[in-house]
Amino acid sequence: MEPTLPSRLAAPVEAYLALLDRWNRTHALTSLEPEARFEELILDSAVLLPFLDRVPKGAAVVDFGTGMGIPAVVLALARPDLTVHAVDKAHKKIAFVRQVALELGLTNLRPSVGRAEALPPLGAALGVAKAVGTLELLLGWWQRHGLSGAPFLALKAGAEVPPAGWTAVSHPYHLPTRGDRQVVELRPA
C-alpha cells in the first residue's frame, strides 16, 4: 500500500502548505521543516483515502488530535460530501484549522476545540487519528463518538496490541524518507 495524492488535490494541498508556512512563522504550529511537510503531513494522510470509499455519502468522520488539521483537511478535500470533524484541545491549532476551512472553502470541515471526552457525541461513521495517544485512549473516545460497529483507523509507526473487545488489521505502507508505517484498522470484536 503506497500513499498517493490524487492530482485534483494538488492545488488545494499546495494552498494548505503555504498557509501553514505563513502561520508557522508567528504561531509555532510545527517543528517540521518545510521540505518534510508534504511527506509527513500530506502523504501520510493520503494513505487513508482508500478507506473513504467505504464511508456513505453524507456521513461524518472524526479526526482526534487533529493538530494542524491532519489528516482532517486531506479527508475533507477528498470527500466534500462528508462532514469532517477536526478535534483538538489546542486553541491556536484549531484557529489555524478554522482559517484553512475559510481560505480553502471547506464548508464540510468542522473544527472543534476541546477534549474529545467532553464533546457531545458526533455520530461518526469513521474515526481517525495520527500520532495521538494509545489505542486504548483513542478507542475510549471512539466509543463515545462513533456509530455502533464503525471502524477506527490509527496511523502508527510501531506495533500496539488492541484492547480487549477489539480486533485489529494492520495495513502497512512506506513513506520515502520516514520509513515503514501502518494503518491499524480497529473494529469491535
What CA dihedral angle connects 29, 170, 85 and 113, to 10 degrees? -40
User: How sure is the predictor about 111, in pLDDT bands with cuts at 50, 70 and 90?
Assistant: very high
Distance CA 154, CA 135 (A): 8
**Is pLDDT larger for residue 159 or for residue 152?**
152
Can you tell me the mean pLDDT for 148-162?
A: 92
What is the pLDDT at residue 158?
80
| Predicted local distance difference test score (pLDDT) of residue 92 | 97
> Is residue 1 pLDDT above 80, yes or no?
no
* pLDDT computed for residue 2 by the predictor: 81
65 assigned to a ligand binding site: yes
- Mean residue pLDDT of the chain comes to 96
What is the chain's alpha carbon radius of gyration, rounded to the nearest angstrom?
A: 15
pLDDT number for residue 13: 98
Residue 83 confidence class, pLDDT cut points 50, 70, 90 = very high
Other Cβ atoms within 10 Å of 164 Cβ, number: 7
| Model confidence, pTM | 0.96
Whether residue 92 is annotated as binding a ligand: the answer is no
- How do the domains of the chain map onto residue ranges? 7-188
pLDDT at residue 159 in the model? 78
pLDDT score of 6 more than 80: yes
The top-level CATH class assigned to 7-188 is alpha beta
* Residue 124, pLDDT above cutoff 90: yes
Looking at the chain, the whole-number percentage of residues with pLDDT higher than 70 is 100
Q: Is 117 annotated as a binding residue?
A: yes
Three cell numbers at 5?
Answer: 495524492
pLDDT digits (tens, 9 = 90+) for 22-64: 999 999 999 999 999 999 999 999 999 999 999 999 999 999 9
In this structure, what are the phi and psi dihedrals at residue 153, rounded to the nearest 5 degrees? -115, 125
The annotation status of 130 as a binding-site residue, yes or no, is yes
Q: How far apart are CA 98 and CA 78, in angstroms?
A: 18
- Tally of CA atoms within 13 A in the half-sphere of 156 that contains its CB: 20
pLDDT tier at 178 (50, 70, 90 boundaries)? confident
3-state SS of the chain is CCCCCCHHHHHHHHHHHHHHHHHHHHHCCCCCCHHHHHHHHHHHHHCCHHHHHHCCCCCEEEEECCCCCCCHHHHHHHCCCCEEEEEECCHHHHHHHHHHHHHHCCCCEEEEECCHHHCCCCCECEEEEECCCCHHHHHHHHHHHECCCCCEEEEECCCCCCCCCEEEEEEEEEECCCEEEEEEEEEEC
Mean pLDDT in residue range 135-154: 97
